[in-house]
Amino acid sequence: MEFDVEEFDPDDVTWVRGVNYVAGWREATNAASDLVAALTAAGVPLDGARATARSAADGSGVVRLMWPVETVRAVAELVRRNGPGSLAA
């Protein structure tokens, strides 16, 4: 899976005083990395998959996923197999 660790681009956001955009981007970067590691460990095919970490307008982290159909189906099957209780935090 391609994981885009884009540098935080200060020109890519509209700045609002007091909002920590870098923290959101960093959190999204860590979450995307965790996702890639978990999917790889579960044997999910990640060829052609892409995850991009960004920061939203409110400063929260956002991970954008672009997955081929094969990856989506494998994740859906993994969730079905493990049941909804496996997603509870």
Instruction: Give every CB contact of residue 82 below 8 A, 6+ residues apart in sequence.
Output: none
- Report the predicted TM-score, pTM, of the whole model to 2 decimal places: 0.75
Q: Would you give the DSSP letter of residue 13?
A: S
Examine residue 26 and state whether it is found in any structural domain, yes or no.
yes
Q: What is the pLDDT of residues 43-58, one digit of tens each?
A: 999 999 999 898 888 8
Domain count, the chain: 1
Q: List the helix and strand counts (H, then E) for the chain.
A: 2, 3
**Burial of 37 from C-beta contacts in 10 A (0-12 / 13-18 / 19+):** exposed
More confident residue, 18 or 77: 77
Examine residue 89 and state whether it is found in any structural domain, yes or no.
no
Tokens of 22: 């870098």
Examine residue 61 and state whether it is found in any structural domain, yes or no.
yes
Dihedral in degrees, nearest 10, Cα atoms 20, 24, 29, 32? 180
Range of 37's domain?
Answer: 2-84
